[in-house]
Amino acid sequence: MTVSRFPRSKRAIAAILLASTVLAGGGGFLAVRAVAANDANPPVSVPPAVQHAGFADLVARVKPAVVNIATTEKVEKADAPQMPGFPPGSPFEEFFRQFMEQQQRKRGPQHALGSGFIIDPAGWIVTNNHVIDKASKIVITLEDGTSHPAEVKGRDAKTDLALLKIDPKQDLPYLAFGDSDAARIGDWVIAVGNPFGLGGSVTAGILSARGRDLNNGPYDNFLQVDAPINPGNSGGPLFDQSGRVIGIDSAIYTPNGGNVGIGFAIPSNLAKTVIAQLKENGRVERGWLGVQMQPMTETLAKALGRKDSDGVIINAVVPDSPAQAAGLQQGDVIMAINGTGIRQPRDLALAVANIPAGGRAELQVWRDGREKEIRVTIGSQPDDEVAAAGNPAAEGRVGMALAALTPQVRQQYGLDDQTRGVIVADVQADSHAAESGVRPGDVIVKVSGSSVTTPGEVSARIGEARKARKDAVPLLVLRHGTTYYLALEIA
């Protein structure tokens, strides 16, 4: 509203002045001439603006190392759909069969476009994993228009990175990774890529934020930029003003399929280690701790006697894992690793993943109301595991009905004979239990760190916490086969 009003106000003022001049007749005209002819009072002027260099020189240097990627995916023939129950001999039966056969014939190879950049003169190319995922054929087109078939040399779905190789007849121009941690919010960034298949497109903007988690995986740590990037930019480089690659364009936030000024790039400092391993081994080996965890909350921190909510709480230790060998326990709060503070699960996941198998790590842990240090030898992450994973739990009268785990109850809730604890039979709406995230069907395994097997033991532990004037008490619950810590408010 402010922007649109201002020019209308100026037009209104101009119209009023013009009307005044007309009404004044010749006098008004002479007054204007007198001001214009007064050399002692010249009209307002602005000195010529300093011309900024822009990014033309930078783009001229880096653009030859940016490539277009075209992929072809073979579509497997789908199983024939089940014929609807038409009466035998019905004309609809034959019509439906012919229609479905026609649709099957129309299913042909699928094509997609993306971007990438050369990191080695021998033809090594970096892109996103999702650009080449399921591709049966990959063709790289260089800036000079020449095309080359490409081979996938390594890929990592967890960070959405892939490494390709072509065989050029001569050395190619290539790019170097920069330091993404050194880039500051507000710094200029330049993106080069292949949006909508247009090829060689250059856009500029600023670094808007860092550390964005898109919930795509345990290692999400995206840079956010407002440089326009669109479908087809995926895998292309994001440059700083020195021409170093500080990010790999990977995703956009959009309500309509187009750019709205929110794009995301994988930081170069994360990509460097992944790409180096892909080039050397064709795969990525990550450190593994072997815990399931969840973020701390202020209420849960109070229940555990902590003054702040930094750190992550372990809700399960994987058997035969490095964590178990080091003596980590369910309910421990990991506050730091190798002197670096931990604020959320992703921090620990990234830190552990970057430690090679066999490396040592020193953990600062909160247990039983005090701090202690635990040394752990990091293991090699199994293919079906993550370095550390977990799900956040939700967070005023207690309001829950409890029952013992009788054979009938076990059968009702589908629990095996090995499950120990107390079942939550019901939760009252607007109660402390409901607002703390307790659900019917949860099995309370521990209260304040002590195992419980009867409803009376749960009540006793909560009563002890009330006598101690605690605001909340920590519950370890089993839900759908996964353990969670909840902070049950009792104040």
Tell me which residues are annotated as active site.
Answer: 130, 160, 234
First to last CA, the chain: 49
- Polymer length of the chain: 491
For residues 335 and 316, give the distance between their C-alpha atoms in angstroms, rounded to a whole number: 16
Which two tokens mark 33? 């001439």
**Residue 17 CA, distance from chain mean position:** 57
For residues 192 and 178, give the distance between their C-alpha atoms in angstroms, rounded to a whole number: 16
Nearest to 484 by CA among 389, 357, 407: 389
- Positions of E strands within 396-455: 400-404, 422-427, 443-447, 450-451
At 407, give phi and psi (nearest 5°). Answer: -55, -40
Nearest to 237 by CA among 137, 127, 377: 127
Neighbour order of strands in the sheet with 151-156: 147-149, 137-141, 66-73, 110-120, 124-127, 161-165, 151-156
Nearest to 58 by CA among 175, 225, 144: 175
Contacts of 108 (CB under 8 A, 6+ apart): 75
For residues 20 and 37, give the distance between their C-alpha atoms in angstroms, rounded to a whole number: 21
* Farthest CA pair distance, the chain: 107
Q: Is 57 exposed, middle or buried (0-12, 13-18, 19+ CB in 10 A)?
A: exposed
For residues 228 and 259, give the distance between their C-alpha atoms in angstroms, rounded to a whole number: 6
The 3-state DSSP class for residue 307 equals: coil
- Specify the DSSP class assigned to residue 112: E
β-strand pairing of 161-165 with 263-267: unpaired
| Residue 171 one-letter amino acid | D
Which two tokens mark 389? 């994973």
For residues 111 and 130, give the distance between their C-alpha atoms in angstroms, rounded to a whole number: 13
